[in-house]
Every structure is written in C-alpha cells, then in structure tokens.
Amino acid sequence: MTHPAENTATAPDGEARPEGASAIGAGPVRRGGLSSAEVAERVALGQVNDVPVRSSRSVKEIVRANVFTRFNAIIGIMFGIILVVGPLQDGLFGLVIVANTAIGIIQELRAKKTLDGLALIGEAKPQVRRDGAAVQVAVAEIVLDDTVLLGIGDKVIVDGVVTEADGLEIDESLLTGEPDPVLKQPGAQVMSGSFVVAGAGAFTATKVGRQAYAAQLAEEASRFTLVKSELRSGIDSILKFITWLLVPTAIGLIVSQLAVEKNDWREAVRRMVAGIVPMVPEGLVLLTSVAFAIGVIRLGRKQCLVQELPAIEGLARVDTVCLDKTGTLTEGGMDVVELRVLDDAAPHLSPEAPLANHLLDDPALLKQALGAMGGADARPNPSMQAVIDAYGNGAGERWRVLEVMPFSSARKWSGARMLEPAGSEASWLLGAPDVLLPAGHPALTEVDELGSRGLRVLLLGRSEAALEDDPAATLEPLGLVVLQQRLRGDAADTLRYFESQKVEAKVISGDSAVSVGAVAASLGLPGAERPLDARTLPTDPEELAEVAERTTVYGRVTPQQKRELVGAMQSRGRTVAMTGDGVNDVLALKDADIGVAMGSGSEATRAVAQIVLLNDSFATLPSVVAEGRRVIGNIERVANLFLVKTVYSVLLALLVVFTHVPYPFLPRHSTVLSSLTIGIPAFFLALAPNNERARTGFVRRVLRLAVPGGAIAGTATFTAYMLARANHATDLKADTSVATLTLFLVAIWVLAIVARPYTWWRLALIGTMGGAFALVLVVPWLSDFFQLSLAGTRDPWTGVAIAVAAGLLLEVVWRVIVRRIGEES
C-alpha cells in the first residue's frame, strides 16, 4: 500500500516519479538504478546472472546419450569381432548401428535448435532501472545491485532486498510450500523462484547467478529431458529384462557353436554373432528418441514450446482438461460496454456530498473516478486496462490519489483512497459485485441478468473507511461497469475436438459463476448450464471429489481452490491438464499432471508449465494431443516388431543350444531380415499419423502381442530349418536359405498385422519390402553377397507352407489377444 501525497512526487534524491508511482521505502537505495558504467564494471567482475538455463540438452549430452548406450556397446563388440574373423559383409549390422545413431543425433540436434529458438522467444524480459529509466533486459544480463521492477505475475529472477513496495504480495509456495502470499515491505528479503500475486514494487539484486536460492532448481526444471514417462520407463524395463536374458543365452550359443564347428572356429564365431545381434532391439530406443524429437519440431512450427519432452506424451494421456476462462476461452483483452449508475446510488451518499447532487444527472464524475483509479494502477490487469481505454489514465487535478490497494485474486477487488474534487476524502473500490455486495442486494439481480448474457460486471463503490480498515464492509454502491470479453474464435472448435476424443473439459475461473457459465454455454460446453459458485464447495476431500466428478463449470474459484479441485480429480484416477495465464493459476498448473501456459501470460505460469503456447492459441492444444498420440501409438506399434524379433532370436538360440546344430543364419542374413521386416518399416510407421487414444499398460500390451508372435515365428523358422537339414545336412547354405525365406515370410506377416489399418502407403511399404527381398533372391550378385541360394523346389515350398500356417496362427492369436486387451481397457 502506498501513501503518495501528490500525483507527481519528487523523491529525496530529486528524481521525479510519475503520477500513481509507488512510495520509496527508507534506506540507501539507488533511485535511478545502476549507471551503464557500473553495469559494465560488474559484468567485467563476473557479477552477472549467468545461470545457464536451457530448454534442451547440450550437444555433448546429446552425442553421449545416443552413442554410449548399453546395446551400442554390445553391437560394437560384435562388429569388432566380425572385423577380425571376416568377411566384411557379415559386419553390415555395424554400419546400420552407425547410421541409426547418426539419425538420432541429427534429429535431436534439430529439436534442440527448435527448442532453443522458441525458449529465446518465450524467455521473460524483466525490467530493471538503469540510468534513471526502466529498460527490459535478458535474464542473463541482470547484474549485482541491479534495481529489478516487479508487477503482478512477474517471477523473482534473482535474490534481493525490497526497496519499493506498493501493496507488494509475493507467493513463495514454489519454494517453501506455504500457500499464503507474503506482504513485502521495503527491507524484506525476496527469493528467486517466488512470484508476485498483488501490487508492485522493486528490489535490489543481492545474489545473482549460481548463488541465487533457486538457481539450481530453475536450471533443472527447465532442462530438456527424455525421462519420467510411461513410454520411456516401459521401454527401459523391457530392455533391462532383455539384457539379463541375453547374457546366458549368448554364453550358451557361443559354447554350442564352438562345439558344433570344431574344425572352423571362424564360422562358429560368425554364427554366434549372428545369433546375438538380432536379440538386441537397438532401434527401439532410437525410434522413440526420433519420434519425440520430430514431435518437438512439428509443434515448434506451431509456436508451441515443449519445456519437458514427456509433456507431449503426458497430454496425450490426459482425460480431463481444466481451463481458465480468461485468456483461454476468451482473449486477454476486454471492452467496456457501458457504465450503469445504480438507481439507489444517491441516497447512499451523504446529503452534503457534492457528488450526490450531480450523480444522477451526469455519470461523468464516476468516469473521472474510474480514470483516476486506472492512473493509480502501476500494473493494470485486463479489466482495469479496459477501464483505462474507456475513461483515460488519470483525471487531472480534480482527483488526487492518496493511497492504493492493488487488485488481489483473494480479495477480488482493487481500491484507491482519493481526494475528491470537492475536497472530501474517500476510498473507491472496483471489484466483484457478489463479493462487495451483501446477499440479497437489489443490484445483484441486475448483475446476474448481465452475467447470464456472458458479460462481465464490476461494481464501483465508495466508502469513508480507510483502505486498511475493510472499506468493503461500509461500501456505498454507485455503478456497474459492464465489460464484454472477447471470445476466442477457435475455442468452440477446440472444445468439440476434446469432446470427440472423450477428454472432459472443465472451466475453473475466478469470475462470477453465472458469467462463466454463460461464456461456456455460448461455446457449447456440455454441463455449462449448471455453473457452481466455488464459495459453496465442500472442504471435505471426499465430498469435494464427488462434486468435481459431476460439475463442469466453476466460478469464484480462489487459487487454492483451483489447486484442490485438480487434486480432487486426480484422487479419482483422472489424468489432469491445467491451462492458464495468470498468477492465480500457478498452484494448479504446478500440481496438474500437465501444465499449459499461454505465452503472453505471467512469467510465473510459464515457469511452472510443461508446455507454453507462444502464440496464445488455445487451438494449438489439439495438435499437442495429436502429436502425443502419434508418438505413443506408433512407438507401441513398432515396439511389437522389435520385440517379436528379440523373442524369436532368443528362441532360435535356445533351440540351437539344445539340439547342437549350427545356428541357421550368418550376420548378413540377420541384417537383411532386420532391415526389411523391422528397421526400414519401423522408421516410417513411427512417424505416421496416429489418432488412437493413449492408454496405460504399455509394457503388458506389447509383451502380450510380441511373445506369442516371436514364439510362432521362431518355431516356424526352426521347423523349416530342421526339415531342410534332414534332406541335405551337408549343404548349410541351402538350409540357411530356406530358414531365411521362412522367417522373412512370417516376419513380413507380422509387419502386415502391425501396420493395420491399411492405407495406400502402408500397403506400398509392405510390398516394397517384399520386392526388395525377392531381388536379393533372384539377382545373382545380391544372392552371392548374402549367400542365399534356394536349392530345388520341395524345401523352399515347404518353408512357404510352414510360413503360411504360422501366419494364419498369428492371425488367430493376434485377434484373441487384441480382443482381450480391448475388453480390459
């Protein structure tokens, strides 16, 4: 709260302050801020806010994450062995790994470039006072002793001491866990990571860079990450299991092949490598990273900044979206429609008050009062900005602001103590009518009628009481300021999209419940005709959860209630996304499974959100949901391909160990099979459109499909191999060729199942892979290169018959399992 004696004051150091400026607290402060020379001196000394806040991993981290992996190490060792024993064509799998790793690095570097560019666009630009003027600087350009200015919604960037306070209230809940904002006076400490919820002020930076309290937390929170997602954790669990399975199987395979090929250890080693390499689903991690990275790039083109990569997946799993009306369903700006003088305004004024004599004849005095209040607000919110646009910024010499109480979402009103034109002194309040007026007041009927039409209404009133003495208790209502909110043109279509995707939208707003309900109803939101005033919400968690289940629209919700409603929905097993743009949304954004902030919203909301819509377009959310579903659905699709290969490779290895026969393939055969039935198709399938709704239970579903599929493929291949050996045991090349043909046909059948539903390009993809394998068989130099030669007709056609039988069995098993999964979901 401030007590300026004049509209234009002169500070002790001679610096003029503009009308409505905050009073300066006592103490040795730099009124004009640092000079350019002082800033340069501190920069030279390294006293700058040099915390490397990044939205993506460094190039070094990207290279390390893609190169130094568990399975790359295994494949690298196998490749080294083949280089020793030869020939080179058996080492083709090593070149594939190099290519895959390079693709992963390139795609993530592209994603990094997109993220870093968007983060720069969306980065906060705090105001500091230098050389006597307020200027915007980058966060990294703040230096020690800078005077940093604060307004509603601003995040405290560095630690410091308050030097100016105009009703300055700071929420430190993100640091301390305390939900109540703290009123700060000059001399009080402020910590980085907190944010302003009311008032305005300034502080002197005392700790910058890594010395600041929340520096490490802020750096970690904004770092690009590939963890903490069901998809990633599921894949990691599968890979750990495969690692434990791979070691004993590989040892058994090595021993068996050395025992079988006693006279040719090089052949034994090649067969051993051929058995181990396909057990490794090396491309699965790569494709997951690539799919996420490309998702970031695609969303970046739509001005959507993904601050945490799993947020793409998280929003796709969301079944409830909580929307803050202002800035989400409506645009940030408002327009004043009219100023209605209340019929009973004059009798509520003192008969001696000069204002009463002119009020009913001319509402110009009310407009002047509104203009004076607007001029006193250092950081006007959208409602006050609309008032300023309509009635000006100040009222000349006729009104003198003595004291200011900034708007607070907890109070629901702002106020100013003013010296009126006739010399009388009074407190003027502007705020929510249903908060400032007692229940049953005649004006509330008019307010409800206006609210039911989707209009926003503020009450202008006057009280003799001082601002610190609860002037709302003795308020004399004078007029209604009627505002019209600007609906977003894309809001209705976006709500329809969520409805079609079975994602429930709930509107949680601090505005009047009737007004919020009218806006939501005009957009066709189901349940909007029954809005609930949050002041009637139960405090019992179980009862609150019951109400949250059946209610769609809430009004007069406090910031703490928004947080409690999110928690209540989560307690019922819902996955909740919260959107918002104001400081009253921060706590709920932080607790929601996914927080989505508007780019033009407060800095505090952008800091805690996982996704920032830089273009402020609510219509971007369907794109994020669709991108997440594409990633999840496609990775699950291709995971089946990779794990079917792992299962049949392990099974073949075990069968070879127990039967003491040569392993049926050379590394070159595994390379061509993996490339044509898994590697190349999976790359295209992973990037294809996919609108399937995300579901939990990724690991269970993938294994239930992959294990029987791999078992059928492995059994069919080994059966064809053993039948061929029975006919010509000495011609290992012919036996290998039959096994390769059988496995290819079964694997391509698996691909055909996984690729459903069919489109022209998916059919063309399957056909192209089949054609490529046919070329390998019929083109002499290719068949020689891959050592494939189908001798006679009986064994090849036997292999084909076995593959067809296996394919039909696959169809039956697949349909049964898919039906069961569908019944469980």
The per-residue pLDDT for range 413-430, each reduced to its tens digit, is: 889 998 888 788 899 999
Of 319, 324, 593, 795, which residue is the catalytic one?
324
pLDDT digits (tens, 9 = 90+) for 24-66: 333 344 567 888 899 999 888 888 887 655 555 678 877 887 8
Query: In which residue ranges of the chain is CATH 3.40.50.1000 found?
Result: 304-329+488-616
Give exposure, 259-276, as e/b (b: 16+ Cβ within 10 Å).
Answer: ebbeeeeebbbbbbbbbb
By the 8 A CB rule, do 522 and 363 touch? Answer: no
Q: How far apart are CA 58 and CA 223, in angstroms?
A: 10
13-17, 151-155, 395-399, 470-474, range with greatest mean pLDDT: 470-474
- Give one word for 327, left, alpha or beta, with left for phi > 0 and alpha for psi -120 to 50: left
Centre a 10 Å sphere on the Cβ of residue 484 and count the other Cβ atoms it contains: 16
Catalytic, 131? Answer no
CATH superfamily assigned to domain 333-487? Calcium-transporting ATPase, cytoplasmic domain N (3.40.1110.10)
The yes or no reply on domain 30-224 and CATH 2.60.450.10 is no
The string of pLDDT tens digits covering residues 759-794 is 999 999 999 999 999 999 989 888 888 888 887 788
Indicate where the chain has its CATH 2.70.150.10 domain(s).
Answer: 30-224
pLDDT recorded at residue 228: 53
CATH number of 304-329+488-616: 3.40.50.1000
Q: Is the pLDDT of residue 318 over 60?
A: yes
Summarised one tens digit per residue, pLDDT across range 364-378 is 788 888 888 888 887
Position 743 pLDDT exceeds 90: yes
- The Cα 804–Cα 814 span in angstroms is 15
Amino acid identity of 664?
P
What pLDDT digit, counting tens, does each position of 129-142 carry? Answer: 998 888 888 888 89
Bridge partner residues of 182 (DSSP): 170
Tokens describing residue 446: 């008019």
Residue limits of CATH 3.40.1110.10 in the chain: 333-487
Sorting pLDDT into bands at 50, 70 and 90, what band is 250? confident
The confidence band for 393, taking pLDDT boundaries of 50, 70 and 90, is confident
Residue whose C-alpha is closest to residue 652's, from 704, 711, 708, 702: 711
pTM assigned to the model:
0.66
Query: Which residue, 284, 286, 295, 310, is CA-closest to 638?
Result: 284
3-class secondary structure, 269: helix
What six digits make up the tokens of 578? 């919260």
Gap between the Cα atoms of 160 and 149, Å rounded: 11
Sign of the alpha-carbon torsion through 443, 445, 450, 452: positive
Rank 263-267, 290-294, 441-445 by mean pLDDT and report only the highest. Answer: 441-445
